[in-house]
Structure 1
Amino acid sequence: MQPLLSVRNLSIQFPSRAGLVRAVEDVSWDVNAGETLAILGESGSGKSVSASAVMNLIETPPAVIPQGQILFEGQDLLQADAEMRRRINGKSISMIFQDPLAALNPVYPIGWQIAETMRVHGVAHDVAQARVIELLARVGIAEPERRMKDYPHQFSGGQRQRIMIASAIALKPKLLIADEPTSALDVTVQARVLDLLKEIQVENGMGMVLITHDLSVVERVADRVVVMQAGRVVESGTSAQVMQHPQHDYSRRLLAAIPGRAGFSDMGAAKGDILAVRGVSKIYAGLARQFARSKTKPVRAVDDVSFTMAKGETLAVVGESGSGKSTLARMILGLDDPTLGTIHFEGKPMQGQSAADAYKMRRRVQFVFQDPTASLNPRMTVQQIIAEPWAIHPDVLPRNQWRSRVAELLEQVGLKPDHANRHPHQFSGGQRQRIAIARALALKPELIVCDEAVSALDVSVQAQVIDLLKDLRRDYGLSYVFVAHDLALVRDFATSVLVMYGGKIVEKGPVRQIYGNPQHDYTKALLRASGVIPQQAA
C-alpha cells in the first residue's frame, strides 16, 4: 500500500556566517491515510523544519535542499509548480502552527480568516459562513456566531490555538500537519482537542503528522513514532515499541525526563510570608461593541481571591484558559492594578507606592512570560537582552563583568555562550523561552512569577530548567508563582496549589493534599484529564 506521504532522504541546509547549518540530514519517514505519526525531539532537532518543507514554507534561498523527495500520493512536492501547490495546500494538506498569535492576522476577525481558506478553494460565501460557526462550536469556542466577529487579541492563548485548528480542518484535508497543536492548552481542553482530531481522522481517513515534545500526547494519539536528534532520525517504530522499549540512548533520556515521575516536591518553605493577596478582584468594564447600541457586560477576570505565600514556597496556579491565572500573575507583578483588594509584598502594599519604592520592588520581583516571541526585543542581541536589567539597575553588576555573567546564565539554562551574539529570530521557540528565563535570573530576584514558563520546552530541556529552578530555590531561597497547565510537572515542582475556575479559587492547599485527596469536582476533572490520577481515584 502506497503511503499518503513519504519523505525520502531529505536534507535541508542553511548557509550562515559561521558556516553551513545542517538542519535536516538524510531524513526519511512515511505516514499512511488514517494514521498518526508523531515526530519527537528537542528544540532544534529539525522536526519542524522537515514538516514545514512538506507545505513549502521554507524559503529557498536562503535554505538549500540538496537532496530528497517529498511524495504526496506518489507525486514529488519538491518538483510541484506554484499552481499545483495552491491546489494542494489548505485543501489536501493543512497545517496547525505552533504560534497562533503569529499565524493569525491581527486586523481581520477570526471568522473571516477561517472562511478565507474555503473561499480561496471556491466555497460559496454563505456555505463558508455556516461552516465557520460549526467549526468554532466543534473546537469549543462558546457563542460562535458572536465570537466569529472578534479579533485574535480578544481571545486567550488556548482559544487562539483552537481557532487555528478550526481553520486547518475547514476543508477536511487528507493530511494534517500539527506543530505542537496542544502546547498552549490546559489539560481538559487538550484532551478535548486531541479527541476531536482523532474523531475527524476517523471520519475522513485523514493522515496526521504530529510534531510535539509532550510524550503524554504521543501515548494518547500516535500510531507510530519517529525520534529526531540534531537533524537526523535516531529511532522509529510503533508507539508502543518506542515508548515502552526505546533502543537509542537519546530516546531513553527523553522518556526519563517525563514529568510526574519524581514524586512530590518536599522543599519546605521558610518562615514568614513573602506575598499576601487579600480580596483581590479584576473587573474589566464593558466596552461599546463596534456597530452595536449596547455595551458588553463587565467581566470579572479575577473574583475575590485571597491567599498567602511563604518565603521559599513554590505556589502553582492551575486552571483552564480564561480562569484568571495570567491576570492574577500580572497583578502580583504590578503590571495591572486590582479593581478591588490589596496585594502586599513582604508586608508592604504594591499599590500606591512612590516611584523610588516601585523601582526597588521591581528588582526583587521578576516575570517569565508565556510567549517568548512577544517578550524579547527582535532588534536586540541575546547579550543586550539579558544585560538590559543591569543597565536599568547599574549597582547590581559592573559593566566589565556583563559578558562573562551572560555566558554563565546562558549555560545555566542549557544554551551556549556564543549564542549571546545572535538575535531572537535565530532560535527555536523553546530556545527563546530559555533566553527569557536567563533574563529573569539576571537580577537574582526574591520572587519569580512564571506564566507557563516551560510549556514551550521539550521534556528533556523542561526537566533541566525545572532542576535549575529547584537549585535556585534551594541555594538562594527563591520563591515562585508558577502558572501552569501541566499537572504532572506541578506535582514534581510545586509545594502548594491554587485551583482557579471562572476567576475564583475553588481549591487550595499543599500539593500532597490536592493531588492525594481532591475535594472539588473541577479539581478532580483536571487531574483525570491530565492522567496524573487514575479515573477511579477521582
Structure 2
Amino acid sequence: MSETLLEVSNLSVEFRSSRGITKAVQNVSWSVARGETLAILGESGSGKSVSANAVMGLIDSPPGHITSGTAMYRGRDLLKLSRSQRRDINGKSISMIFQDPLAHLNPVYPIGWQIEEVLRIHGASASEARSRAIELLEHVKLPNARERLRDYPHQFSGGQRQRIMIAMAVALRPDLLIADEPTTALDVTVQARILELMKDLQRESGMGMVLITHDLGVVAQIADRVVVMKDGKIVETGPVTEVFKDPSHPYTRQLLDAVPGQEPFRHVEQKREVLVEGKKLVKEYILSSNPFKRNAATVTRALDEVSFKLHAGETLGIVGESGSGKTTLARTLLRLTEPTSGEIAYKGGNVFSLKGGDLRDFRRKLQVVFQDPTASLNPRMSIFEIVSEPWAIHPGVLPREKWRAEVEDLLVQVGLRAEHADRYPHQFSGGQRQRIAIARALALRPEIILCDEAVSALDVSVQAQVIALLKDLQKKHGLAFIFIAHDLPLVRDFADRVMVMCKGKLVEEGTTEEIFSNPQDPYTVELIAASPHHDPDAHARYGTA
C-alpha cells in the first residue's frame, strides 16, 4: 500500500445568501495516495471543484462556509490552518492547476517573471529562480523556452499556456497536484500531449494527483480510482476499470450512456439539392512586425483554396485543431469577413455579390448558434425579447401580434416552458441558455444553422440532450447543419459528412463512416487516435495511459 498523502473526511460546504442556503458539498470523503491519480467526476454543480477549493483554502467566506469535516495532510488538518501556515503548504507541498490558464496568469507580467516569483517567495535567489524557470519550461516541452521567458501570456496558444501553468505548479516539487479541468478547452491532440506530460511528471516525482473533470475519456485515460459526485454528494467510488465496466449507481450509468461516439453511423441520402457551395476559398492575412516597413510583412493563409458542398437536410461536420481555419470558414460563409479570392454560391448565386435586401434575405436563411450562450445572449433582455428580436430586424416574417405565441411555441420546441419567456439569461443553466440560442436561431425559419462549437462547453449529459434536440429539429423542419467542433466522437454521432481541416487546407472529406472507419490522411489518423475513449481497456490496448 502506498502512503496516503491526503485524506478528506465528511467535508461539507454551504453558501449562504439572501435567497437561502445552498449545500454545495455534503459529507464527502476521499483520499489519494503517493503516485496515485484520483479522478473526481461529475457535471457542473456537482460540488467537485468546491471540495478541491476547500482543501486549498480558496473558498470565499462569506458567502462560503465549511460546516464540517477534516482534510488531513501529514498529520495536520488543512481546514484549520491559519493563512501563514497554509502559505507554507500551498504551492510547496500541494499545488493546483486551474481550468482557464489565461484567467489565472497575470497579463501584465512576462511568464518567466511569474514562474520565478513562485520560487523567490519560497527562498530561491534571483539567479536560481531564473535557471530553474528555464529548466521547468524545457521540462514541460515549451519550444524555445529560454527565448520566451520575456513573452506575455497572450502571446502563447491555449496548450502552451497550460504547459506554463503546469511548470508553475510543479516548480517546488509538490507531493500532491490538484488539476481542475486542465484540458477542457484544448484540442484533442493538445489535450493528449498535456495528459501525457502530467503522467510523465507524476512518474518522475511520485506525486499524487487529484483530477477534477466531467470528461469520462480523460478519466479512463489517466486515473487509477474515480469518485463520482452528484448534487454535492458522492454516489459511487472505486477503481476506474470496475466503475466504468459495471457501474452500481444509475447516475454513473447515465453518464456513460451519454458519452458520444456510440451511435451507429448516419447514412447519407443521395441526390439532395446543393444549398451552399464554396469554391476555392482563400483568405490571407498580412502580419507585420513593423507596420512602417513593407518588407517586414508576412502573409499567412487562414484558408487555402477550400471547396465544399452543403446539401439540403444534411449535417456537415468540420473538424480540426485551433488555427485550422474552421472559424475563418464560418465567418466567411456568414459574410462577416470577405475572402481574398474564391466564391460561395447559395442556390446558384454568388453570396459575395449580394447587397441590401438580397443579403438580408440570405442571412435570414442562414442562422448561427455560438459556442458560449452566456456571451451571445444579451443579459439585459428577457427571453421573449431575445427570441423575438429577429422579427424586428426582418419585419416581413411575422406580425407583431403573433410574437408572444410564436416565442412560447419555440421555447416548447426546444424543451423549455412557455412561462420562461419572461425570465432573463442568468436565471438558466448553460444547457438551457444554449436551448434559448437555438430557439432564437429557429425564429426566422432558416434553411441552414451553423453551430460553432455549440455544445463544447456543456456537460456530457446536457450535450447529449442538445444533440438529440438538434436531430429532432432537423427531422421536423428539414434543416441543414454546419457543425464545427473539435470533439470527434460528437461529430461522429451527429454528422452525415465530415471535412477535416489543417492549417487552412482541406486535407480530407467523406462520409462520417469513411472518415472514422478508414481515414486516409495522417493528420486525420492522429486526430482520431488522440481523442480520449471512455473505455479504460482501449487506452491500455493502444498504450495511451
Normalised to the residue count of structure 1, the TM-score between the two structures is: 0.87
Q: Distance in 2 between matches of 1:203 and 1:429?
A: 39
- Aligned counterpart for 1:412 among listed residues 411, 414, 420: 414
Task: Give aligned-pair identity as a percent.
Answer: 55
Q: What secondary structure is seen at the aligned counterpart in 2 of 1:514?
A: helix
Q: Distance in 2 between matches of 1:338 and 1:379?
A: 35
Q: Deviations over 1:61-99 (max 9, x none)?
A: 112322222333332222222222333333322222223
* TM-aligned CA deviation for residue 507 of structure 1: 0.9
C-alpha contact 1:180 1:212 (8 A) present in aligned 2? yes
The aligned counterpart of 1:465 is 466
Q: Which has the larger radius of gyration?
A: 2
CA gap 1:526/1:24 in 2 versus in 1, 3 angstroms: same
* TM-aligned CA deviation for residue 124 of structure 1: 3.9
Single out whichever of 173-182 and 200-209 deviates more from structure 2: 173-182
C-alpha contact 1:100 1:161 (8 A) present in aligned 2? yes
Gaps of 5+ in 1: none
The aligned counterpart of 1:248 is 249
Q: Distance in 2 between matches of 1:480 and 1:326?
A: 15
* TM-aligned CA deviation for residue 302 of structure 1: 2.2
| Pair 1:61-2:62 in alignment | yes
The aligned counterpart of 2:51 is 50
CA gap 1:420/1:20 in 2 versus in 1, 3 angstroms: farther
C-alpha contact 1:386 1:435 (8 A) present in aligned 2? yes
Q: Distance in 1 between matches of 2:438 and 2:123?
A: 46
The aligned counterpart of 2:97 is 96
Single out whichever of 191-200 and 512-521 deviates more from structure 2: 512-521
CA gap 1:109/1:517 in 2 versus in 1, 3 angstroms: same
- 1:507 corresponds to which letter in structure 2? E
* Counterpart mapping for 1:207-356 below 5 A: 207-266=208-267, 268=269, 271-288=272-289, 295=296, 297-356=298-357
C-alpha contact 2:39 2:227 (8 A) present in aligned 1? yes
Q: What secondary structure is seen at the aligned counterpart in 2 of 1:42?
A: coil
- 2:186 corresponds to which letter in structure 1? L
C-alpha contact 1:386 1:406 (8 A) present in aligned 2? no
Single out whichever of 277-286 and 229-238 deviates more from structure 2: 277-286
- 2:223 corresponds to which letter in structure 1? A
Number of aligned positions between the proteins: 535
Q: What secondary structure is seen at the aligned counterpart in 1 of 2:461?
A: helix
Q: Distance in 2 between matches of 1:266 and 1:26?
A: 49
The aligned counterpart of 2:169 is 168
CA gap 1:140/1:363 in 2 versus in 1, 3 angstroms: farther
The aligned counterpart of 2:42 is 41
Q: What secondary structure is seen at the aligned counterpart in 2 of 1:4?
A: strand
CA gap 1:441/1:22 in 2 versus in 1, 3 angstroms: farther
Gaps of 5+ in 2: none
* TM-aligned CA deviation for residue 377 of structure 1: 4.8
| Pair 1:361-2:333 in alignment | no
Q: Distance in 2 between matches of 1:164 and 1:414?
A: 40
Q: Distance in 1 between matches of 2:24 and 2:246?
A: 28
C-alpha contact 1:281 1:305 (8 A) present in aligned 2? yes
* TM-aligned CA deviation for residue 512 of structure 1: 1.3
C-alpha contact 1:287 1:295 (8 A) present in aligned 2? yes
Q: Deviations over 1:431-488 (max 9, x none)?
A: 6656555554454433222232222222211111111111112211222222222222
Single out whichever of 443-452 and 107-116 deviates more from structure 2: 107-116
* TM-aligned CA deviation for residue 501 of structure 1: 1.6
Q: Distance in 1 between matches of 2:415 and 2:160?
A: 30
Q: Distance in 1 between matches of 2:17 and 2:266?
A: 44
Q: Distance in 2 between matches of 1:416 and 1:63?
A: 34
Q: What secondary structure is seen at the aligned counterpart in 2 of 1:518?
A: coil
CA gap 1:199/1:528 in 2 versus in 1, 3 angstroms: same
CA gap 1:62/1:352 in 2 versus in 1, 3 angstroms: farther
Q: Distance in 2 between matches of 1:187 and 1:17?
A: 42
CA gap 1:322/1:93 in 2 versus in 1, 3 angstroms: farther
C-alpha RMSD over aligned residues: 3.5
Single out whichever of 341-350 and 188-197 deviates more from structure 2: 341-350
